[in-house]
């Protein structure tokens, strides 16, 4: 067997493994959510996935077969990557963690500020406290003295500090790191997209160079590709000061009743017929679509909205956003996030 034949066979086996993972996610209800496990690499594990398949989940998400949903952020040791950390305040002087938390008092008459334990109870029937600086007794909070919150006292060396540094000791390798030097990793759940469902139906993944999806017979760019086009338009805006608009399209809930996924929406081909050849259409998220309208102001985009409603009907949620500054892109990304229910 030649090296080339072995490479082809290996690639086919990898695709089949990833396709099988999609099938298992589909059988599990269309989503995979990590479960907390202290013994797992980063404190979470995917019960539905086998060892080593986390890389396949990332691959499938990058290729839009799965959509990532944020679950948690895990803090890790920068030396060994373990999540088993003991995080606590330490003394800025001796760097030990043997600290006592104590309240501070401020004596107005002499201005002394000290720990509450320094102000001994005064003798006599009137009580009160005795200032260690001026030896005068005070009684009334707010007129003679005030409380100034709390401070940390090192039991080992006696140093007092209001804001002790935070340090983490790795229980796996023993490394001690300031809190600001710790690293983190994000943990995601994954949801099967319409493209992932189409791959299961077809029994194969897309070729690596496939950028277009054909949904209801109409061409739409995959989410990662249409976002690249969107960022390119923003770069053109910054360079040439030429604004544009986007049209965000989402079917109303009644339009999705009985539809297995976005591939079942016949109105998408009608939407494409309402557009110009220069307009770019893509799938922003599952069942959420975007149309990039170059050199189009909001008024013209709203006119297009009216035309789409007249052509297709009222069962669509349409939003026109004019982008004249790069920060306006945040509205598009916020819309995308709002249309994705958490896992």
Q: CA 282, CA 284: separation in Å to the nearest integer? A: 6
The tens digit of pLDDT for each residue in 297-322 reads 999 999 999 999 888 877 788 889 99
Question: CA nearest 152: which of 143, 139, 163, 141?
Answer: 163
Q: Which residue has the tokens 């985009």?
A: 301
Share of residues in the chain with pLDDT > 70 (%):
85
Cα separation, 278 vs 270, whole angstroms: 16
pLDDT in tens, 210-252: 566 666 666 788 888 888 889 888 888 888 888 899 999 888 7
Give pLDDT, residue 94: 93
Beta bridge partners of 31: 191
Question: Would you call 110 helix, strand, or coil by DSSP?
Answer: coil
Q: pLDDT, tens digit, for every residue of 36-57?
A: 999 988 899 987 676 668 889 9
Please choose, from the candidates 115, 116, 107, 113, the residue with its C-alpha nearest in 3D space to the C-alpha of residue 138: 107
Q: Where are the domains of the chain?
A: 3-71+188-192, 91-164, 211-338
Task: Check residue 147 and give its pLDDT.
Answer: 84
Nearest to 304 by CA among 282, 327, 320: 320
- DSSP letters, 254-321, are HHHTT--SGGG-THHHHHHHTS-TT-EEEEEETTEEEEEEET--HHHHHHHHHHHHHHH-S-EEEEEE
| Residue 192 to residues 33, 59, 60, 201, 226, Cα–Cα distance (Å) | 12, 13, 10, 13, 19
**Separation CA 43–CA 285 (nearest Å):** 29
For residue 107, what pLDDT is reported? Answer: 93
How high is the pLDDT of residue 104?
Answer: 84
Q: What is the mean pLDDT of residues 90-117?
A: 88
Convert the pLDDT of each residue in 195-210 to its tens digit: 888 788 888 887 655 5
Residue 259: band (very low, low, confident or very high) from pLDDT cuts 50, 70, 90:
very low
By CB neighbour count within 10 A (0-12 exposed, 13-18 middle, 19+ buried), where does 276 fall? Answer: exposed
pTM of the model: 0.58
Class of domain 211-338: alpha beta
Helices 3-27 and 54-62 sit at what angle, rounded to 10 degrees? Answer: 90
pLDDT at position 9: 42
- Token readout for 70 is 């944020």
Largest CA distance in the chain: 101
Give the whole-angstrom CA distance, residue 314 versus residue 319: 13
Least Cα distance to 53 among 76, 6, 20, 8 occurs for 20
Specify the higher pLDDT residue, 253 or 141: 141
């Amino acid at each position: 067997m030649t090296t080339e034949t072995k490479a082809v066979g290996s690639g086919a086996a990898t695709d089949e493994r990833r396709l099988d993972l999609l099938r298992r996610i589909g059988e599990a209800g269309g989503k995979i959510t990590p479960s907390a496990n202290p013994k797992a690499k980063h404190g979470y594990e995917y019960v539905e996935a086998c060892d080593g398949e986390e890389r396949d989940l990332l691959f499938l998400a990058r290729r839009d077969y799965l959509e990532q949903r944020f679950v948690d952020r895990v803090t890790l040791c920068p030396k060994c990557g373990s999540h088993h950390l003991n995080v606590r305040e330490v003394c800025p002087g001796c760097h030990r963690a043997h600290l006592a938390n104590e309240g501070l008092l401020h004596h107005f008459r002499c201005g002394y500020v000290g720990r509450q334990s320094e102000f001994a109870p005064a003798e006599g029937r009137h009580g009160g406290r005795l200032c260690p600086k001026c030896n005068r007794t005070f009684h009334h909070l707010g007129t003679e003295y005030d409380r100034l919150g709390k401070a940390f006292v090192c039991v080992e060396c006696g140093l007092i500090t209001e804001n002790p540094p935070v340090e983490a000791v790795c229980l796996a390798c023993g490394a001690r790191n300031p809190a600001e030097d710790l690293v983190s990793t994000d943990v995601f759940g994954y949801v099967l997209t319409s493209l992932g469902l189409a791959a299961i139906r077809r029994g194969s993944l897309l070729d690596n160079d496939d950028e277009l999806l054909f949904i209801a017979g109409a061409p739409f760019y995959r989410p990662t590709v249409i976002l690249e086009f969107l960022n390119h338009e923003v770069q053109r805006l910054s360079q040439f000061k030429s604004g544009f608009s986007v049209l965000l399209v989402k079917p109303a809930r009644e339009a999705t009743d009985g539809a297995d996924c976005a591939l079942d929406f016949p109105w998408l081909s009608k939407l494409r017929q309402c557009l110009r050849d220069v307009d770019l259409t893509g799938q922003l998220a599952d069942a959420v679509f975007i149309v990039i309208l170059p050199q189009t102001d909001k008024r013209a985009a709203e006119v297009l909205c009216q035309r789409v409603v007249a052509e297709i009907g009222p069962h669509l949620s349409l939003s026109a956003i004019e982008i004249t500054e790069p920060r306006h892109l945040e509205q598009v990304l916020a819309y995308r996030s709002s249309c994705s229910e958490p896992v």
